[in-house]
Structure formats: C-alpha cells, structure tokens
Amino acid sequence: MTNVAVHLEAQQPSLHAHVHDVPASGATHAEGQQHPIKLYLVVWGWLFVLSACSYLVDYFHFQGYLRWSLILLFMVLKAGLIVAVFMHMAWERLALSYAILLPPVLVLVFVAIMVFESDYTHLIRVVFFAPST
Amino acid sequence: MAETVLTNPGESPARAAGLRGIADDWSSDQRTFKNVSWGKAMMWIFLLSDTFIFSCFLLSYMTARMSTTVPWPNPSEVFALTIGGHHIPLILIAIMTFVLISSSGTMAMAVNFGYRRDRVKTAVLMLVTAALGATFVGMQAFEWTKLITEGVRPWENPWGAAQFGSSFFMITGFHGTHVTFGVIFLIAIARKVWRGDFDVERRGFFTSRKGHYEIVEIMGLYWHFVDLVWVFIFAFFYLW
C-alpha cells in the first residue's frame, strides 16, 4: 500500500513544488498527506457499494450464519477502507498504527467474556424465571 | 510563551520500517510518533478512548440481547417506512448511512484541498460535510420522534424485550451527539479556512498559536471516526 502511495505521489510533482513555496515556518506541516482526489472518489464509491450490499442482506431476508457473516464481512471492509484511506492510517508509521489499532482488537477478549456471561444469565433465566407462556 | 520549534539539523538518516521501525520509534528516548504532530497524535488517542466508550455501549447491548428470554424486536420491521404506498424495510437507516458516507467523502476531499492550500474549495467542502451531518441529525430526530410516538420508551416497547428502547436511545443518542458536535467543530474550522487564517498564520483566539491546514486533517479524523462508529452501529444494531 505504501509503495502505491509513493508511486501516486510521484505523479504529482506540481503539488510538491507548490507546497515548498510556503513560508519556512510552515514547512514542518506543509508536507501533509498528498494523494490524488481520484483515490478518495474510488473509496467513496466502494463504500457506497458495500453499504448497498449490507442493506441488501436485510432486504433479501438472509438468515442465520449467512446473514451474520455477510454483515461482519461488509462491516470490516467498510471500516478498513475508512481507517486506511480516509484517515490515512495506511501511510502512517507502524509505531502509530499499532498503538491505535491493537488496543481495540483486545476488546474482542471483553466480547468473549460477555458472551459467556450472557449465556449463563440466559440459562439461569430460563431455568428459574421462565415466563408463563 | 515561546513556541516550540522543530529544528531540522540537516538530513536525518532514513528510519527503519517494519517491526524494527516500531522498536526504534518506541525506544528512541524521543517523541514516539516521528512524523505526526502532537495535535494529530492526541486526536488519535482521543478517538481510541472514544472507541472504548462505544465498544462498551455495543457490548452492553449485546449482553442484554443475548441474555433476555423475551424476543428482540425485529429492527427490519421497526425501522421500516411506507413511502408512496410501498412498505420498505430499514429504508430510513439506509438513507442515513449513505448521507454519512457521502459526508465522509467530502471531508476526505476537503483535507486534500487543505494541504493543496486551496482555501475556497476546502471551506466549501467542509460546509457541505457539515450540511450532510446536519441532515443526518435531522433524520435521526425524525426517527426518534417516530419511535417515541409509537410507544418506545427506555423501559418498554410494544414489540418485545424492554432493553430494546434503552439500547437504542443510548447508542444512537450518543452517536447523534458526536455528529452534532462534529458539525459545530466543522463550521468553526471552515470559518477559519474561509477567512484565510492558515494562509497568513493568524494566531488563534484562545491558544495564541499559529494555525495550520493540518487542523483540517485532525478535524477529518474526528469526522471519519463518527462515520466509522456508524458502520458498527448499522451492522450490529440495525442489521443483526
């Protein structure tokens, strides 16, 4: 991904020339994130397609594991595109990427704990507090 | 107070990539995030903490939904609308999703034009983003009104498990608040961009520091995060 970015940036020499014209005090900030607009439009298009797909999962009433895996697949793809391209995480140094992206992954441990906990609660409710149907 | 200036003593040696780079950056006894300003790093760290907040909300929703013995209301039916005689499931939420994604697209382009120092395009794109965000909040207000008139309360609803209402109001309410603050933040920064504050390096009213176009990217990080949270809410609350 980084190689692609370098390649794309290389196609825009005029931008860099323009950026270097700014006063020296702004030079440390002026480099910034420089990518062609087309990249954002393509990602925007993909986000639309993926959103439409996840809506269609509901529209066509897919059920069970097929539904859940499709929802998760489209969700992860959308989240990945937003973080990687829109938030420029793909071009950051790994020190930042790992510091920000690893901790949320550890939330999955919390998810696992709460799945066991709610299974247990559900069992207790069924055994002792079953609603009179 | 004197501003800290980052000195650049000639060409610095190339930094290692990969795992070696992570070890180097974190053990350098200098700032860890080498090419990221403190403003951007702090926004990322704030977003990380916000991730945990929304994780807790979605986790408590998951726990409530998994442990209840009463059937969960079907969101596909609850959020359906009848438009022109057609009964379309979940249509309002789908439109809200597209509106928010579009606002993310315009925000990403605003960041790009900001770094190109295109003042007018940046400000206009940010205002379009703010308008889309306000539209989103408006549709959410419509959705809340509809559900409240149908009898959804945090403690009960006509269709099933009582926790549906409390989960719904807390998760979407917190997200809507984030969007609202984002819109205010966007308008404030767009005004500065429009006025040319970052071209003449005018000092901020509160901070007395020089502004840079980087604030547009920092603002963009917040806005994309709001969109990111919606991706998860859409998947887990509305579609699941």
**pLDDT tens for residues A86-107?**
999 999 999 999 999 999 999 9
Residue B231: Cβ-neighbour burial (10 angstroms; 0-12, 13-18, 19+) = buried
- Average pLDDT for residues B125-151, to the nearest whole number? 95
Residue A131's pLDDT is: 61
Q: Is the pLDDT of residue A12 over 90?
A: no
CA-CA distances (angstroms) from residue B92 to A68, A92, B121, B237?
21, 36, 30, 14
Contact predicate B183/B134, CB 8 Å: yes
Residue B2's pLDDT is: 61
Counts for chain B of helices (H) and strands (E), in that order: 7, 2
CA pair distance A85, A46, nearest whole angstrom: 12
- Average pLDDT for residues B42-66, to the nearest whole number? 95
Residue B72 near chain A (CB below 8 Å): no
Residue A123's pLDDT is: 94
Residue B1's pLDDT is: 55
**Chain B: nearest CA to A10, how far in angstroms?**
15
Residue A8's pLDDT is: 45
Q: Indicate the average pLDDT of chain B.
A: 90
- Average pLDDT for residues B5-21, to the nearest whole number? 73
Contact predicate B98/A51, CB 8 Å: yes
Residue at A126: amino acid letter: V
CA pair distance B181, B188, nearest whole angstrom: 11
Residue B89's pLDDT is: 85
- Average pLDDT for residues A9-32, to the nearest whole number? 43
H helices of A1-133, where?
Answer: 2-10, 13-19, 27-30, 37-59, 64-81, 94-128
CA pair distance B170, B189, nearest whole angstrom: 28
Dig out the tokens for B209 from the structure: 């520091």
Q: Is the pLDDT of residue A19 over 60?
A: no
Residue A1's pLDDT is: 44
φ and ψ of B203, to 5 deg:
-80, 145
Per the model's pLDDT, the better-predicted residue between A12 and B4 turns out to be B4
CA-CA distances (angstroms) from residue B62 to A117, B41, B59, B177?
11, 31, 5, 22
CA pair distance B128, B98, nearest whole angstrom: 14
Residue B7's pLDDT is: 62
- What pLDDT, in 10s, does the model give residues B180-200? 999 999 999 999 999 988 888
Under DSSP, is residue B88 helix (H, G, I), strand (E, B) or coil?
A: strand
Residue B203's pLDDT is: 87
**Chain A: nearest CA to B220, how far in angstroms?**
7
A&B contacts, CB < 8 Å: 182
Contact predicate B224/B104, CB 8 Å: yes
Residue B128's pLDDT is: 97
Q: Looking at beta carbons, which residues of chain A come within 8 Å of B235?
A: 54, 71-72, 74-75
Contact predicate B76/B83, CB 8 Å: no
Highest mean pLDDT among A8-17, B75-84, B191-200: B191-200
- Average pLDDT for residues A46-68, to the nearest whole number? 91
- B83 CB neighbour count, 10 Å cutoff: 10
Q: Is the pLDDT of residue B52 over 90?
A: yes
- Average pLDDT for residues A42-61, to the nearest whole number? 92
Cross-chain Cβ contact B240/A93 below 8 Å: no
Which pLDDT band, with edges at 50, 70 and 90, does B12 fall under? Answer: low
Interface test with B, best of A55, A76, A122 (most B CBs within 10 A): A55
Report yes or no for ipTM above 0.90.
no
Q: Is the pLDDT of residue B10 over 70?
A: no
Residue B81's pLDDT is: 86
Cross-chain CB nearest to A87 (options B8, B102, B224): B224
Q: Is the pLDDT of residue A85 over 90?
A: yes
Under DSSP, is residue B91 helix (H, G, I), strand (E, B) or coil?
A: helix
CA-CA distances (angstroms) from residue B19 to A4, A96, A104, B204?
20, 12, 20, 39
Cross-chain Cβ contact B17/A19 below 8 Å: no
Q: Is the pLDDT of residue B99 over 60?
A: yes
